[in-house]
Amino acid sequence: MKDTYRVLDADVIIIGAGISGLVAAYALLQKEPTLSLLILEATDRIGGRAISKPLIVKNDEYHMYDIGGHWISAQQKGLIDFLAEFGMNIEFSSNQKGKVILDYDGKILKQTKQNPLAFLSIGAQLELARFVSKIEKLCKKMRLDPVLASTNMEKFISVNVKNKCVEALIDSIILKNFGLKSADLTVGFYIFFCTSSHGIANQLALFHDGLHEFWIKDGAHEICNKITFLLNLDPILKARVGQIKTTGCHNKVTTTRGSFYSSYVIMAIPPSEMRKIRFLPPLSGHKLEALSGVSDGRLAQFVVTYTLPFWANLGYTGDVHVLNGHCSEKPIICCFDISTKDKAALMGYILRCEGDPKVAILKQLAFYFGNEALKPLQLTVEQWKSGSPMCCFKSFGKMSSVQESTERIFWAGAETSTEWYGSICGAIMAGNRAAREVIYDLRPASLTVDDMRFFQVDISAIKVRNRMFNSYYKKLLNPYNQISAVLLLILLMFVWHKRNLKNVSIKKLLL
């Protein structure tokens, strides 16, 4: 009874000062400036998994580079509009010409950026197209067969793909996107992720117009800096939350700095951190099951700067994709050129490992681009000692149960967004949604018709996921194109064996 009439420390307590938590704070105060907020952050910095570091560039100057959340797609219109609202600019690589390097079983394949899959045979391209078509059809289903949804992707790929090179390509895409092997990912969650990111074609990072298009000029962390400056958010209290007790009147949040009371709580931390907090009364069985079944990806990220983009002089774009064979001596999964007009840099992903991987990273880059790669201005690696840049649930159903609000507690974070899951855009959308859920419960008259869009997926935007599928894969799947490919293959065989055709029947040749 003592806590029933307790004076509140804030109307809303936001747990987590990452992008999603700070966007939630911004959205709350934009809708209701009279609200009092308290933001709790377990670490000694804001930004969460948005980490930007100053690295040495040409002429001993410094430039901010992301080693956390990074990429922006032109399809993420909401994010681009959000950045424009804050006067933040985006950048893209100045080196768009040259060859992409694909490392397959130690064999170096050099392809144009416009057609990186040209190394695949016609049969292999058709098999990849059929696999993509199958995923796209599953994305459009309202409900997946439960047995199929719970099947791991390794088994699903082995059943639907026979070409080893195509299988390695798909496995590498999964590894790059999740930091997990295909055996650790269910079909159900992968289908959700493809739908969330507007189609599997966007997961094929080999394409220049997929998800890896732009990045924020001053780093993703600048989003957090802008919000804290504009709102003059004070205090952001350094405190780790241990327990949240919910009553009919308020929430009691117990931390390493004492207990705080509020009407509402917004959870804006990764699922792996949510599991460390005790809830009273306990969370629902579905939510607990979802949080306990989360798999943390094992991705680590590096950025290396150079005086000049020497790889461009060698005819390379700077992009590298390793299809298999990752180990401590060969840690790089993929690498991208993030050079601008006067700043040369490469960024990429490796698997989290023990020890310092910097020497191995430089040696692998030298293997692709020559000994100039061994002379960087600066190299930094983010190993993510706690949390992960990507978390995966067992299924979409489990993920959606985490998103659902409980009494006086609302859930944000990039992993609670049904669109652009796990990305910067997803974090912003989740923060906006959670803020409006609080307003709806507190002062529903404050919401407008436009605010309702944050409560549902933008179907019109998701339709663009068919863009690349229609322009490339559907052409490959067209039966007339397949027949043409077969006829072309027969013609080439005739030309190749022209001198020997006199004694070989067409029937024998085709067989």
Report pLDDT for 182: 94
Token pair 């706690």 in the structure block, residue = 386
Rg (CA), the chain: 25
231 close to 354: Cβ distance less than 8 angstroms: no
Exposure on the CB side of residue 218, measured as CA atoms within 13 A: 11
Q: Say yes or no to pLDDT of 198 above 60.
A: yes
Q: Where are the domains of the chain?
A: 10-49+220-295+391-446, 51-76+89-114+208-216+298-387, 118-206
Angstrom distance (rounded) from CA 182 to CA 161: 13
Cβ atoms < 10 Å from Cβ of 442? 16
Question: Is 360 in contact with 330 (CB distance < 8 Å)?
Answer: yes
385-401, pLDDT tens digit by residue?
655 678 888 888 888 88
CATH 3.50.50.60 fits 10-49+220-295+391-446, yes or no: yes
Q: How confident is the model at residue 236 (pLDDT cuts 50, 70, 90)?
A: confident
Check if the beta carbon of residue 253 is closer than 8 Å to that of residue 40.
Answer: yes
CATH architecture for segment(s) 118-206: Orthogonal Bundle (1.10)
pTM, entire model: 0.86
Q: Choose among 286, 267, 264: nearest CA to 276.
A: 267
Distance of CA 481 to the CA centre of its chain: 34
Amino acid at 400: S
Q: Tell whether domain 51-76+89-114+208-216+298-387 is in CATH 3.90.660.10.
A: yes
Encode pLDDT of 284-340 as tens digits. Answer: 888 988 888 888 888 899 999 999 999 999 999 999 999 988 788 899 999 999 998
- The type of residue at 169 is L
Average pLDDT over residues 147-164: 95
Confidence at 62, pLDDT banded by 50, 70, 90:
very high
**pLDDT at position 122 over 90:** no
Q: Region of 387 please: left (phi>0), alpha (psi -120 to 50) or beta.
A: left
Is the Cβ–Cβ distance between 473 and 199 less than 8 Å?
A: no
